Structure formats: structure tokens, C-alpha cells
Amino acid sequence: MTGTALLPPEEAAYYLKLFRQARYKTLEDAEDFKSVCYALEEFGRRLTGAHQNGLGRYSVALKSFVGRHNKVEFDALFSVVKAARNDVSHQGVFARNLASKAAKLVTIIEEELYTMTTLVRHVMVEGVVFVQPFHTLSKVREIMLENSFSHLPVKIDNEFLLISDHHIVKLWSASNLTSNQKYVEPLIALAQLPDLPSVGKIRESDPVPTAYQTMQGLPLLVLDNNDNPVGILTPFDLL
């Protein structure tokens, strides 16, 4: 298959997640930019319907896939990534610059794939990380820092609420908080715990435009048809 390709929504969602994960890995570790190369090669095989030796052999199909307004920039970025693909190592400033270009390259493909998705489940982040009833303030802070989360859902009295990094900062810096309250006692037991907003909810089968209308600047909890949480959707996921 060559030329401009319109993928089925489920398949577009698969490749969208593939490229997002590759981009995150590359930005986390600049010397691991080959995660992007592997994703490009896998997608290239899908577009051409053939296994080719070398990233460059997929260039025509990949360039044909992106929108007209992105083709010149894509071509320039792809040339840099292709040239570096077979180098033994990339370090320091060069590695960071290469990682930045590789990340930009896949965002162009992601832009096209995103337009082919139709449902919330296609763009949501799967696997919700919840604050558990036994988690301490220290543990919630650690989870947020390790994952760069701005918000975490928590279930209190059968209601899903949302804890923000702002809440955690205020609690962590409170002068009257003891070490035990930070490191031993459950967060939800703290008398200083502020009133938390309810989490907005959306169905995984809802059309993506529904999220634009429902989201009020905060993450949405994605539910299946049995009301089980299956994912989370943030404004970032809709960019």
C-alpha cells in the first residue's frame, strides 16, 4: 500500500500510541532515539506492505502519509534521523538535538493519525493510576514526581475525586505537618486535606468531540459500559 493512506480508527489508534510511547522514551533518554526509528520502520512496513532493509526505503510512503503543509519539515527531519539511524552511539549535545528532531518528526505523523481516530478509547491513556486509601502524602508526591502527573484520581466514600500537584505542594509545605503525617499516616486521613473536586467522567465509546465539550480543564475518568475505569483523558491527550 503506497500513497496517502486512511487507516481504520482502531489501527490509527494503535500507531498513535506506538509513536507517543516512542517519543516519550526518546525525550526521557536522548540516547534511546532508536525507539522512534523502530516505530517508523514498523509503520513503514504497514504503509508499503513490505519489509525493507533500511529506514530510508520507507521515506516515500511516510512522506506521502503526512499532510501537505508538513511535508517540507518532515523531509528535513527525516533526513537527519535516517542519517543517524545506523551510527553506533549518540551522546551529549548531539544526542539531545537528535532526540528533539526525532520527537518533532513523530509529532507530525501523530497529527495525521489523530485525525483518523473517532472514539475516546482511541486517544485516552490506558491503565489509571489511583491514589490508594493507604497511600501516604510522601507516596503520592513520589508517584507524581516519577510520572510527571499533575493530577491523580482517588476514590473516597464511593466517589471519584481529583488530587492535584497544587494540593500536594500545599500539604507538603505546611509548617504544622509532622513527619508521621507526611510519611506514615494515610493521605486521606489528614485533617488538612482540602476539598477535592469530583472527577468528570466520559465513556470510552463516546466520540472524541464529546471530550472537548465535557472537559473543563481537568482530566476525565474514562469508563467502560459497566462503569469500570479503563483510562484517563487529559487536555494534553487532545492536543
What are 182-198's pLDDT values in tens digits? 999 999 888 667 788 99
pLDDT in tens, 153-189: 998 888 899 999 999 999 999 888 999 999 999 998 8
* The total number of structural domains that make up the chain: 2
110 and 128 inside one domain: no
Residue after which a domain boundary falls, among 80, 101, 117: 117
Q: Residue 17 falls within a domain, yes or no?
A: yes
Question: Do both 144 and 61 map to the same domain?
Answer: no
Are 155 and 227 in a shared domain? yes
- Backbone CA torsion sign across 110, 2, 101, 36: positive
Confidence at residue 2, expressed as pLDDT on a 0 to 100 scale: 39
Boundary-marking domain end, from 117, 142, 176: 117
156 membership: H or E segment, kind and range: strand 151-156
CA 95 to chain centre: 22
pLDDT above 70: residue 71: yes
Same domain, 203 and 140: yes
Residues 128 and 231 both lie in one domain: yes
CA–CA dist 149, 152 (Å, integer):
7
45-54, 80-89, 197-206: lowest mean pLDDT where? 80-89
Mean pLDDT of 132-145: 95
pLDDT band, very low/low/confident/very high, at 96 (cuts 50, 70, 90): confident
In a domain, 4, yes or no: no
pLDDT of residue 5: 67
Q: What is the pLDDT of residue 91?
A: 58
pLDDT digits (tens, 9 = 90+) for 20-51: 999 999 988 877 788 999 999 999 999 999 99
Q: Check whether residue 50 and residue 111 sit in a common domain.
A: yes
Q: Is residue 211 part of a domain?
A: yes
200 and 160 part of one domain: yes
The letter for the amino acid at 101 is: K
Q: Confirm whether 88 is domain-assigned.
A: yes
Residue after which a domain boundary falls, among 90, 117, 144: 117
> Do 159 and 111 belong to one domain?
no
How many angstroms from the chain centroid is the CA of residue 229? 17
Average pLDDT score, the chain: 90
**Is the separation of the CB atoms in 148 and 142 below 8 Å?**
no
Structural domain contains residue 93? yes
Q: Give the domain extent around 110.
A: 9-117
Question: What mean pLDDT comes out for the span 197-219?
Answer: 94
Same domain, yes or no, for 45 and 136? no
Q: Residue 97 has what pLDDT?
A: 87
Domain co-membership, 129 together with 230: yes
Quote the pTM value.
0.85
Residues 138 and 212 in one domain: yes
Same domain flag for 126 and 232: yes
